[in-house]
Amino acid sequence: MTVRSRRQVLASLSMAAAAVPLLGFSSAHSLTPDKEPKVLLPPRLKRNDTVGLICPAGAAFSKETVQITIETLEALGLKVKLGRHVFDRFGYLAGTDQARAEDVNAMFADKGVQGILAIHGGWGCARLLPLLDYKTIQRNPKPLIGYSDITSLLVAITAKTGLVTFHGPVGAATWNKFSADFFTKVLFDGEAVLFENPKEIGDNLTIVKDRITTITPGTARGRLVGGNLTVLSSIIGSDYLPHWKDAILFLEDINENVYKIDRMLTQLKLAGVLDEVKGVVFGKCSDCDPGSGSYGSLTLEEVLEQHLQPLKVPVYSGAMIGHITHKFTIPVGAMAEINAANGTIQLLNGVVV
């Protein structure tokens, strides 16, 4: 190719690139559209409603766990419909990506199903995000509930459709009175719930269990967005996250060494997430220890302080959110006010209609 023809090719490529319109994407996440969909509230659950059970992540290795989930929902006055692929298995996954996505899409499309509950988490929900039918989901709003790996589905559906989803118990969780009460207050009764840790002293002279730690005092209002820290950090930069501007970020995790929590919070910082939020609630990080051989490790408290205090927004840790037996049901995408000194999250309105 001659010098002249090479210049002509380069000039043509430059003109073609200039002709491509710039998409309206935010600077923090280059794939996230600037305009978010309108908030969409799902219908409340009622006695005799049918809840669809799905396994969108790990395989259901125990039929007994599924049966216990069915009996739990029946005890709440609900009926149950099993997803077609609940008992599928593809290695550690509950069937192929297509099969698991099919169950999610089918439950939203099914007019006879009023709510959707994941039986458990594990790993695999992020693989489904390109396969979900977001238009059908938006046309058929209903509560979707789960936590841990289900975080991917919750935030993606909220981001794409505006539908408020619920970071709450999975079917295989412990459904004690504490967890069941928050579940029913939010999803059945439509209350503007105050999420507050239990304050049982027992035989002690002060509260010992489930304490909150104020990192930065103050109050803040914003949309609740968050979930499992590992899951969120793994999909940063994708097209499946809501905007973080003026949001209240809530986080939880399990079985992660402190340096990994440090690494993931650093990722949120470098991605611009932490600079945009109006407040942070860090729930429980179960079994998040320095790890063997970690001589001189930072503590979890030190890591949280180093990353979150400089934000100069209200922050507290210890909320009943995470891989724990007693947990809140937190609506993703709903407006709330946090009080970091008191360790509370107050919904500004009911989140079901």
Type of residue found at 301 = E
Task: Give pLDDT, residue 293.
Answer: 55
Task: Give pLDDT, residue 36.
Answer: 83
Strand pairing class (279-286; 315-317):
parallel
Q: How far does CA 273 lie from the centroid of its chain?
A: 15
Q: Which residue has the tokens 């001659």?
A: 2
- State if pTM tops 0.95: no
Averaged pLDDT score across all residues of the chain: 91
Task: Give pLDDT, residue 253.
Answer: 97
Task: Give pLDDT, residue 297.
Answer: 85
Task: Give pLDDT, residue 290.
Answer: 78
Q: What is the pLDDT of residues 93-139, one digit of tens each?
A: 999 999 999 999 999 999 999 999 999 999 999 999 999 999 999 99
- The percentage of the chain sitting over the pLDDT mark of 90, rounded to a whole number, equals 86
Longest dimension (CA), the chain: 89
Residues assigned a catalytic role: 148, 252, 323
CA angle 113, 231, 119 (to 5 degrees): 35
Candidates 41, 115, 104; CA nearest to 77 is 115
Q: What is the pLDDT of residues 36-46, one digit of tens each?
A: 899 999 999 99
Task: Give pLDDT, residue 34.
Answer: 58
- Taking 50 as the threshold, does the pLDDT of residue 27 lie above it? no
Lowest mean pLDDT among 14-23, 51-60, 162-171, 327-336: 14-23
Task: Give pLDDT, residue 138.
Answer: 98
Q: What is the pLDDT of residues 141-182, one digit of tens each?
A: 999 999 999 999 999 999 999 999 999 999 999 999 999 999
- Taking 60 as the threshold, does the pLDDT of residue 14 lie above it? no
Helix (H) or strand (E) holding 230: helix 229-234
**35 or 21: whose pLDDT is higher?**
35
Task: Give pLDDT, residue 295.
Answer: 62
Could you tell me the two tokens for 156? Answer: 């993606």
User: How many angstroms separate the CA atoms of 284 and 210, rounded?
Assistant: 9
- Taking 70 as the threshold, does the pLDDT of residue 11 lie above it? no
Task: Give pLDDT, residue 24.
Answer: 30
- Taking 60 as the threshold, does the pLDDT of residue 22 lie above it? no
Q: What is the pLDDT of residues 123-133, one digit of tens each?
A: 999 999 999 99
Task: Give pLDDT, residue 289.
Answer: 82
Task: Give pLDDT, residue 18.
Answer: 38
Q: What is the pLDDT of residues 239-298, one digit of tens each?
A: 999 999 999 999 999 999 999 999 999 999 999 999 999 999 999 999 998 765 556 689
Task: Give pLDDT, residue 12.
Answer: 44
Q: How far does CA 120 lie from the centroid of its chain?
A: 14
User: How many angstroms separate the CA atoms of 263 and 292, rounded?
Assistant: 18
Q: What is the mean pLDDT of residues 302-327?
A: 98
Q: What is the pLDDT of residues 192-244, one digit of tens each?
A: 999 999 998 989 999 999 999 999 999 999 999 999 999 999 999 999 999 99
Q: What is the mean pLDDT of residues 313-339?
A: 98
Q: In what order do the strands lie in the sheet with 213-216?
A: 194-196, 344-347, 335-339, 219-228, 247-254, 279-286, 315-317, 213-216
